[in-house]
Amino acid sequence: MAKQKRRPIAEMNVVPYIDVMLVLLVIFMITAPVLTQGVKVDLPKVASEPIKSNKNKEPLIVTVKSNGHYIIERGREEDKAVNLDYVHKYVGKILSQQPDTEVLVRGDQAVAYGKVIDLMSTLQAAGAQGVGLVTEAPEPGR
CB atoms within 10 A of CB 65: 20
Q: What would the pLDDT profile of 77-86 be if each residue is shown by its tens digit? A: 556 788 888 8
When the candidates are 3.30.365.10, 3.30.420.270, 3.90.25.10, 3.50.50.60, the CATH number that belongs to 60-134 is 3.30.420.270
pLDDT bin (cut points 50, 70, 90) of residue 126 is confident
d(CA 102, CA 123): 11
Mean pLDDT of 29-45: 65
In the three-class reduction of DSSP (H, G, I as helix; E, B as strand; rest coil), residue 13 is classed as: coil
- Output the average pLDDT for the chain: 78
First CA to last CA distance, the chain:
91
- What local confidence, expressed as pLDDT, does residue 141 receive? 59
pTM of the shown model: 0.58
**Residue 115: CB partners within 8 Å, gap ≥ 6?**
64, 68, 107
Across the chain, where does the E strand assignment appear?
Answer: 60-64, 70-73, 81-82, 103-107, 131-134
